[in-house]
Amino acid sequence: MKILSVDTSTATCTVGVVNGDGILAKSVDSSGQTHARHLMGMIDSAITASGILIHEIDGFAVVTGPGTFTGLRIGIGTIKGLAYALSRPVAGVTSLAALAAQADLPTKLVCSVMDARRNEVYYGLYVSEQGEPAQVGTDRLATPLELAKNIRESCQFIGNGARLYRETFEAALGPLSQFSHSCRDTIRAETIARLALKQFQKDKTQKLHAVAPYYIRRSDAELHLGERL
């Protein structure tokens, strides 16, 4: 199954064309510019480099969040537009689940951590079940120290938040804190596609209108509105 996968949840924009377990082409941009400026060009480049035509794509996969609000809207809106035009299915994958799928999963706990700014992080806890990450509890928003207080066993941290707040986790947890290699902290196109493929195979894809940004934190506009009410 040929899948076009996109991640715009962070400052790094990733696009990939994947066929089964093999990646046909990939494009990554870490310039920090708005994803709206280059996403379609990256998709065109990846499709061309893959050697297939856009109408040969069987399905689309997109990271739904948590992450940067504007980035998520750009990526999801673009993929929904392509899926609608080509009448193809779409699978949404959370950023925290994708990171957990990239961790070295023995039997220990894995904590996917995304920087949420304002000295806060988005995080999700996972354990290994038959070699695959299974979530424990729900995704949360917390300060790094609040997160550390919830860890009571050896835990592997992964994600840009793990890298950013590594000293905090090490100081609070000592030898209980372990960290993935930095190369695993960026979500890979093939990881998104692999998780999406499982949804396609189990017929668990979402209706197009239901694919939406997964924020966890409310936007500034919503917070300010709440303060005025």
Residues 57 and 169 in one domain: no
Residue 195 binned pLDDT confidence (cut-offs 50, 70, 90) = very high
User: What pLDDT, in 10s, does the model give residues 153-162?
Assistant: 999 999 999 9
Task: Compute the average pLDDT of residues 27-32.
Answer: 94
Residues 120 and 173 in one domain: yes
188 touches 195 (CB < 8 A): no
Residues 71 and 121 in one domain: no
Residues 91 and 191 in one domain: yes
Instruction: Examine the fold and report which residue of 184, 200, 217 is the final residue of a domain before the chain moves on.
Output: 184
Domain that holds residue 126: 96-184
Residues 195 and 173 in one domain: no
Residues 26 and 107 in one domain: no
Question: Strand 13-19 vs strand 177-179: parallel, antiparallel, or unpaired?
Answer: unpaired
Instruction: Examine the fold and report which residue of 164, 184, 204 is the final residue of a domain before the chain moves on.
Output: 184
Residues 33 and 91 in one domain: yes
CA dihedral 52, 55, 59, 61 (to 10 degrees): 70
Can you spell out the DSSP letters for 85-140?
Answer: HHT--EEEEEHHHHHHHHS--SSSEEEEEEEEETTEEEEEEEEEETTEEEEEEEEE
Name which residue leads in pLDDT, 205 or 8: 8
User: What pLDDT, in 10s, does the model give residues 159-192?
Assistant: 999 999 999 999 999 999 999 999 999 999 999 9
End-to-end C-alpha distance for the chain, whole angstroms: 49
Return the CATH number at 102. Answer: 3.30.420.40
Q: Cα–Cα distance between 114 and 103 in angstroms, integer?
A: 14
What mean pLDDT is reported for the chain? 92
Residues 36 and 149 in one domain: no
Q: Please tell me the total count of domains within the chain.
A: 2
Q: Cα–Cα distance between 218 and 204 in angstroms, integer?
A: 27
Residues 202 and 173 in one domain: no
Residues 28 and 85 in one domain: yes
User: What pLDDT, in 10s, does the model give residues 80-113?
Assistant: 999 999 999 999 999 999 999 999 865 589 999 9
Residues 191 and 89 in one domain: yes
Residue 13 binned pLDDT confidence (cut-offs 50, 70, 90) = very high
| Of 47, 120, 59, 62, nearest in space to 95 by CA | 62
What own/partner pairs with CB < 8 Å and gap ≥ 24 does 180-184 have? 180/102, 180/103, 180/104, 180/156, 184/99, 184/102, 184/103, 184/104, 184/158
Residue 221 binned pLDDT confidence (cut-offs 50, 70, 90) = very low
Residues 91 and 6 in one domain: yes
